[in-house]
């Protein structure tokens, strides 16, 4: 009986086993990054466990009890579709740490802002005398996860940019280990952002605590895998639903999906299903709710690929929904978001009644829906989003 591959030792071993089995192509750039991940794994396995009495004890200690065995994290950057997520999956599964957390960077920052808000409410209600929320927030995060693994480290929001330096000064001092993927090098984070000079100390802090490596694989595996997927499916029947499900599972690699929210000026935009930078909505979620172009722009900033299900035929009885759908496609097109759609009818037949400017505007929508299916658009999408 053939011996099953042993995936437990290292990321390098798992890549080698999958390559030998024909499940993956040999990729020396991925093997190089695997070696760096294995360095972190080896150090995690060989360190001496330290006693931790409480989060506050770690917070106010003059010197970290693990300073003599500090482990440098890892920042892996490269273009989309090169295998960063796959390598992170392997690493996180093997990391011998009970308190560890794997999430999308934007999800993490939404949690941070939520904790800061909760602390300020406690201060307002007299439940704490700590005026600075950052140290206790960092302590609470570290108490839950001494190993933080982020997908898609990307700073686009000034509120995130202004808090990161202080937050990670505390986290790194406590002994937090950061392993993250990104599409950009650290020096290009928050590029051209407002008040970027105030953000730059965080970049230098980051470099002190992580090794920066590039994944320069010559092959865009996501492009190869998804280029042939159908992106506009009609009518609304079992075949369209099955094709949509298949595309979703191929794009997300079967990763766990979660509902999330996008903060938006005192309210939130609900996202029913999200995996990394991929989201899934119904037409009702996006066009039957009081959303506008600015909301669609926030969605486009947060997600590179969006699935939209069950687009109905449109007419005078759905005038507001029609206007929102036009704005939605315009925004996604301008931001080169890739869309997968199931619809009641072909794009050119969706609008059943044409009146006034909406008819002309919908002609543009139809044209864009056709162009968004093209390989040229997909190539443009890949090129643009590797810069984000």
On the question of a cis peptide bond just before residue 235, with omega within 30 degrees of 0, the verdict is: yes
Res 79 pLDDT > 80: no
Give the pLDDT of residue 58: 42
Residue 179: pLDDT band (50, 70, 90) is: very high
Number of helical H runs and strand E runs in the chain:
15, 11
Specify the DSSP element, H or E, that contains 322: helix 319-334
For every residue of 218-272, DSSP letters joined together read: S--HHHHHHTTS--EE-SSSHHHHHHHHHHHHHHHTTPPPEEEEEEETTEEEEEE
What pLDDT digit, counting tens, does each position of 228-251 carry? 567 899 999 999 999 999 889 888
Pick 221-385's CATH classification: 1.10.10, 2.60.40, 1.10.287, 3.40.50. 3.40.50
Q: What is the mean pLDDT of the chain?
A: 85
Q: Which of 275, 297, 301 has the alpha carbon at shortest distance from 286?
A: 297
Res 225 pLDDT > 80: no
Mean pLDDT of 360-383: 83
Give the pLDDT of residue 8: 56
User: Alpha-carbon distance 330 to 315, whole Å?
Assistant: 19
Q: Count Cα neighbours of 103 within 13 Å in the Cβ-side half-sphere.
A: 17
Give the distance, in angstroms, between the CA of residue 235 and the centroid of all CA atoms in the same chain: 31
Does the fold of domain 221-385 match that of domain 11-214? yes
Give the distance, in angstroms, between the CA of residue 65 and the centroid of all CA atoms in the same chain: 33
Res 33 pLDDT > 60: yes
Beta-bridged to residue 82, according to DSSP, are none
Residue 326: pLDDT band (50, 70, 90) is: very high
Domain ranges of the chain: 11-214, 221-385
User: Alpha-carbon distance 336 to 342, whole Å?
Assistant: 19
Q: Which of 79, 77, 83 has the alpha carbon at shortest distance from 304?
A: 79
* Fold of the 11-214 domain: Rossmann fold (3.40.50)
């Amino acid at each position: 009986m053939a011996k099953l591959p042993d995936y437990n030792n290292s990321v390098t071993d798992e890549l080698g086993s999958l390559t030998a089995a024909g499940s993956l192509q040999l990729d020396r750039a991925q093997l190089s990054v695997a070696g760096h991940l294995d360095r972190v794994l080896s150090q995690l396995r060989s360190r001496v466990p330290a006693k931790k009495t409480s989060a506050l004890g770690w917070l106010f200690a003059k010197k970290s009890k693990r300073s003599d065995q500090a482990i440098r994290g890892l920042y892996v950057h490269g273009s989309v579709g090169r295998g960063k997520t796959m390598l992170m999956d392997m690493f996180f599964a093997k990391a011998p740490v009970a308190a560890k957390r794997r999430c999308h960077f934007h999800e993490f920052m939404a949690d941070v802002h939520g904790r800061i808000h909760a602390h300020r409410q406690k201060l307002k209600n007299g439940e704490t005398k700590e005026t600075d929320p950052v140290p206790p927030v960092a302590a609470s995060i570290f108490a839950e996860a001494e190993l933080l693994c982020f997908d898609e480290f990307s700073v686009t929001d000034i509120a995130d940019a202004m808090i990161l330096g202080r937050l990670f000064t505390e986290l790194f001092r406590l002994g937090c280990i950061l392993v993250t993927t990104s599409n950009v090098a650290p020096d290009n984070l928050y590029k051209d952002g407002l008040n970027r000079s105030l953000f730059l100390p965080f970049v230098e802090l980051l470099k002190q605590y992580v090794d920066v490596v590039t994944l320069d694989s010559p092959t865009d595996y996501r492009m190869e895998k998804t280029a042939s997927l159908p992106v506009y499916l009609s009518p609304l029947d079992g075949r369209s639903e099955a094709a949509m499900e298949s595309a979703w599972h191929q794009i997300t690699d079967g990763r766990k999906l979660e509902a999330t929210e996008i903060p938006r000026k005192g309210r939130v935009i609900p996202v029913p299903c999200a995996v990394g930078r991929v989201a899934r909505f119904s037409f009702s979620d996006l066009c039957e709710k009081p959303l506008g172009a600015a909301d669609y722009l926030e969605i486009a900033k947060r997600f590179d690929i969006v699935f939209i299900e069950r687009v109905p035929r449109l007419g005078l009885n759905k005038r507001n929904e029609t206007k929102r759908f036009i704005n939605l496609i315009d925004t996604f097109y301008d931001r080169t978001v890739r869309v997968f759609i199931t619809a009641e009818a072909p794009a050119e037949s969706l609008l059943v009644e044409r009146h006034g400017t909406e008819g002309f505007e919908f002609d543009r929508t139809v044209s864009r829906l056709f162009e968004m299916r093209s390989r040229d658009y997909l190539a443009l999408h890949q090129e643009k989003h590797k810069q984000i």
